[in-house]
Amino acid sequence: MSLTDRESQPVPARRHRTAGGGRALTAGTMLAVYLVLLVAIPSNLTITALGGFGRPSVLWGLLLLFWWLLTRLQMRAVDAVPVTQPVRIALIALVVIVLVCFASLMLRGQPADQISPAITALLRLASWSGVLLVAMDGIRTHDDAARIVRALAIAGGGVAALGLAQFITGQSLLDWVSSIPGISVDGASVATRSAFTRASATAAHPLEYGTALVGLLPIAIGTAVARGFPERRQTRPWIWWTIVGLIMAAALLSVSRSAILGLAVALVASLPAIPQAYRWLIGVGGAIVTAVVIVVVPGMLGTVVSLFAGASDDPSTQSRSDAVARVPEFIATSPWIGQGFGTFLPRYYIFDNQWVLLTVEIGILGVLAFAAVVASAFGSAAWAARVSPFEDTKAMGRSLAASVLTIAVLFVFFDGLSFPISGGLLFLIVGLTAAMRTIAAADIGIRASAERLSTFAESD
């Protein structure tokens, strides 16, 4: 039996007794809906009657959490060998610390304008946890994981295309959304820097947009290299490479230091997922995209160079440096559990650094727990890539690991968990890395079964 033939293909998730049980309502379907709500709908859009609680993606994430709890209570059997999930342990630790922080701040008493943000932050974390848990426990086969990964790559291409259209036209192109009855949209206008439009696509801020682009780039590259993974080997590979090119061009035209640095991190982190034969393609293709941007957009090269050359004098860079220096001052009263998740308002100080902000809000223990979520996700994807005998699973694990690393690095440059798309993408991808751990463990079982069958056949 040839491993590459995958004669022992896992059955589709809809035939398993995992989350959703039915023929249509699978974990993959529910996560696909979440991805559409997260990326296709402007992240600054809310349902007016619900106020800050009315973001569609957040509401769907809460539904996913309830659905996960319901299916876990009803589960009578498992369809895959349980594996230890470090991501689950780290998530539990993070949630417990956040709840302890919330209880502590409520006991201390808070200004009225901090109570609602604290509750909203708890709901966001619950929503993200629902997404992570459904991905981790509901995605059980390589094929279903590959579908979500392809959807993420397509989402990256869509965001990039809309951002490029905004850059060219200088218009938001989404102003019509605010005319929908019952919908509120905050801050729909586009920003500018050095006479260039700073696109944001459906994101609320250019930095959130840049994080979505470069965070999804490793996934798009991995999908292109594998030509869409097993089910799509006969499809036109140029479609996936076009998506990679769109994302790279959009990142270069984002007029953002963070996005360009993130682009470099994403490309370097993606190298292990790229076969050597494709590395020249990525290098040459990247050079071509960069050359086209320089030629087609006069002045862009000088603008980008000035962004880095004058970084030391830039107010945003100085703000980030000052933020680190002021951390001891802000955590002095509660260094271990912080001031409370979501309660450090801009009137106190604006941290363009999610890691620093978490240190202030949920303390040293909280930021260590969040770091454990990221590290365990990276480790799970890397472990899956190392132990699986199948090249397509290896490639997908490596691309997810690179994506998690890229987003974690970008969180140094802005408070990513304050924005729906960047936070939602991180937790979705973390959930997929945990699913890859289960899939890789099943792959090991498939390999062992194949070897036993081969030995048995030879003995006959």
Instruction: Please tell me the predicted confidence (pLDDT) of residue 456.
Output: 44
Answer whether residue 7 is part of any domain: no
pLDDT of residue 235: 59
In a domain, 323, yes or no: yes
Q: Is the dihedral of CA 299, 209, 393, 239 positive or negative?
A: negative
The helix/strand/coil state of 142 is: helix
* Cβ count within 10 A of residue 168: 12
- Coil, strand or helix: which one is 75? coil
Residue 405 inside a domain? The answer is yes
Q: Domain range spanning residue 163?
A: 13-459
Structure token digits, residue 92: 């539990």
Cβ–Cβ under 8 Å, residues 191 and 206: yes
For residue 46, what is the enclosing H or E element? strand 45-47
| In a domain? residue 283 | yes
In a domain, residue 159? The reply is yes
Start-to-end CA span in the chain (Å)? 15
Question: What integer pLDDT is reported at residue 4 of this predicted model?
Answer: 40
Taking 3-state DSSP, the helix, strand and coil percentages for the chain, each rounded to the nearest 5, stand at 70, 5, 25
Which pLDDT score, from 0 to 100, does residue 310 have? 61
What local confidence, expressed as pLDDT, does residue 114 receive? 80
Q: Is the dihedral of CA 369, 372, 374, 376 positive or negative?
A: negative
Q: Which two tokens stand for residue 86?
A: 């470090």
The length of the chain, given as a count of residues = 460
Residue ranges, the chain, pLDDT below 70: 1-24, 75-81, 187-189, 194, 227-236, 307-323, 445-460
Q: For residue 1, tell me if it sits in a domain.
A: no
Q: What is the pLDDT of residues 345-367, one digit of tens each?
A: 777 777 788 999 999 999 999 99
Number of separate domains in the chain:
1
Per-residue confidence (pLDDT) for residue 317, from 0 to 100: 65
pLDDT at 73: 82
Task: Extract the tokens encoding 67.
Answer: 């659905």
Classify residue 71: in a domain, yes or no: yes
Q: Which tens digit of pLDDT belongs to each residue from 208-246?
A: 999 999 999 999 998 888 764 444 455 567 788 899 999
Q: Measured between alpha carbons, how far is residue 15 from residues 33, 121, 372 in Å?
A: 20, 36, 33
For 119-146, b/e burial (b = at least 16 CB within 10 A) is: ebbbbbbbbbbbbbbbbbbbbbbbbbbb
Contact status, residue 327 vs residue 360, Cβ threshold 8 Å: yes
Asked whether the beta carbons of 124 and 102 are under 8 A apart, the reply is no
pLDDT at 170: 87
pLDDT in tens, 45-62: 888 888 777 899 999 999
Report yes or no on 2 lying in a domain. Answer: no
